[in-house]
Structure 1
Amino acid sequence: MKRSLYFVLRIAAAILLILNTGCWSSNEIEDVSVYVGLGLDVAQVSEFERGIEKQGASYPREKVLTATVQIVPPITGKGQKQGGSSSTPSEAYMNEKLTGDSIIQIFRQFSLRRDRPLIGHHLKVIVVSSELAKRYSLEQIFDFILRDNDIRPSCLVLVSHRNAFEALSTNEPGEVPALYLAGLVDNRYRSNKIIPPVTLIKLDSAMQSGSSFLLQNVVTAQNDHKFSGAGIFKGSTKKWVGELSQLDLEGLSWFSFDVKGGALKTYAPEGYSITYEPKNSKSKIIPKVEGNDISFHIKVSSEGRLIEDWSFPEIPSSGQYMRELEKQFEKEARKQIQQVLHKMQHVYRVDVGGFNKQLRIKYPKVWNKVKEDWDETFSNIPITYEIDMKITDFGSSTD
Structure 2
Amino acid sequence: MRRIKKGFMICCCMSILFTGGCWDSIEIDDIGLAVGVGVDNQENSINGQTPEFTIQFVIPKALAGENGGGGTKEEAFHNLTIEETSLFEGGREASTISSRSPNYSHLKVLIISKEAAQSINLLQLMNFFFRDHEIRRTVHVLISEEKASEILSLKGAQDPIPALNLLYITENMETKTAKMPPKLSLGDFSEKMSASSSFMVQKVQKHKEEVQIIGAAVIKGKTQKMIGELDEDETFGINCITGEATAGAVTGVDKETDKIIAYEIDSLKSSIKPKVNGEDISFTVNINTEGRLSEDWIPNSDAFKEKFIRNAEKEVEREFKRLMEAGLTKTQQDLKVDVAGFGESLRINKPKVWKKVKKNWEERFPEASIDINVKVKIRQFQTQGRKMNK
Q: TM-score range by the shorter chain?
A: 0.7 to 0.9
What code does the residue aligned with 2:169 have? L
Unaligned runs of 5+ in 1: 46-61, 77-87
What code does the residue aligned with 1:116 have? R
What code does the residue aligned with 2:247 have? G
1:180 is matched with: 165
1:318 is matched with: 305
1:303 is matched with: 290
What code does the residue aligned with 1:200 have? L
Q: 1:288 to 1:108 in 2, by over 3 A?
A: same
Q: 1:386 to 1:172 in 2, by over 3 A?
A: closer
Q: Does 1:124 align with 2:108?
A: yes
Q: Does 1:365 align with 2:352?
A: yes
* Aligned partner (choices 215, 218, 221) of residue 201 of structure 2: 215
- Aligned partner of residue 178 in structure 1, secondary structure: helix
Judge conservation of contact 2:171–2:183 (CA < 8 Å) in 1: no
Deviation of the 1:28 alpha carbon: 2.8
In structure 1, how many angstroms separate the alpha carbons of the residues matched to 2:282 and 2:362? 14
How many residue pairs are counted as aligned between the two chains?
364
2:177 is matched with: 191
- Aligned partner of residue 170 in structure 1, secondary structure: coil
Q: Does 1:294 align with 2:285?
A: no
Q: 1:275 to 1:90 in 2, by over 3 A?
A: farther
What is the percent sequence identity of the aligned residues? 34
What code does the residue aligned with 1:397 have? Q
Judge conservation of contact 2:113–2:147 (CA < 8 Å) in 1: yes
- Aligned partner of residue 184 in structure 2, secondary structure: coil
In structure 2, how many angstroms separate the alpha carbons of the residues matched to 1:122 and 1:210? 29
In structure 2, how many angstroms separate the alpha carbons of the residues matched to 1:298 and 1:218? 29
In structure 1, how many angstroms separate the alpha carbons of the residues matched to 2:196 and 2:155? 40
1:94 is matched with: 78
* Aligned partner (choices 203, 208, 219) of residue 233 of structure 1: 219
1:80 is matched with: none
2:153 is matched with: 169
What code does the residue aligned with 1:197 have? K
TM-score, L = length of structure 1? 0.85
In structure 2, how many angstroms separate the alpha carbons of the residues matched to 1:270 and 1:24? 75
Judge conservation of contact 1:44–1:99 (CA < 8 Å) in 2: no
Q: 1:26 to 1:384 in 2, by over 3 A?
A: farther
1:145 is matched with: 129
Q: 1:100 to 1:267 in 2, by over 3 A?
A: same
Q: 1:171 to 1:250 in 2, by over 3 A?
A: closer
Judge conservation of contact 2:292–2:378 (CA < 8 Å) in 1: yes
- Aligned partner of residue 344 in structure 1, secondary structure: helix
In structure 2, how many angstroms separate the alpha carbons of the residues matched to 1:389 and 1:186? 26
Deviation of the 1:286 alpha carbon: 0.7
1:41 is matched with: 40
In structure 1, how many angstroms separate the alpha carbons of the residues matched to 2:268 and 2:117? 34
Deviation of the 1:171 alpha carbon: 5.2
TM-score, L = length of structure 2? 0.87
What code does the residue aligned with 2:383 have? S
Judge conservation of contact 1:63–1:99 (CA < 8 Å) in 2: no
State the superposition RMSD in angstroms.
Answer: 2.7
1:54 is matched with: none
Q: Does 1:340 align with 2:311?
A: no
Q: 1:171 to 1:392 in 2, by over 3 A?
A: closer
- Aligned partner of residue 83 in structure 2, secondary structure: strand
1:205 is matched with: 191
In structure 2, how many angstroms separate the alpha carbons of the residues matched to 1:210 and 1:304? 37
Q: Deviations over 1:298-337 (max 9, x none)?
A: 0000111111011133423210111111111111111111
Q: Deviations over 1:170-205 (max 9, x none)?
A: 255761110011001221211111322110100000
What code does the residue aligned with 1:378 have? F
Q: Deviations over 1:159-178 (max 9, x none)?
A: 00111111111255761110
Judge conservation of contact 2:152–2:162 (CA < 8 Å) in 1: yes
Unaligned runs of 5+ in 2: 63-71
Judge conservation of contact 2:51–2:84 (CA < 8 Å) in 1: yes
Judge conservation of contact 2:49–2:116 (CA < 8 Å) in 1: no
Q: 1:31 to 1:391 in 2, by over 3 A?
A: same
Judge conservation of contact 2:49–2:120 (CA < 8 Å) in 1: no
Q: 1:351 to 1:314 in 2, by over 3 A?
A: closer
Q: 1:348 to 1:24 in 2, by over 3 A?
A: farther
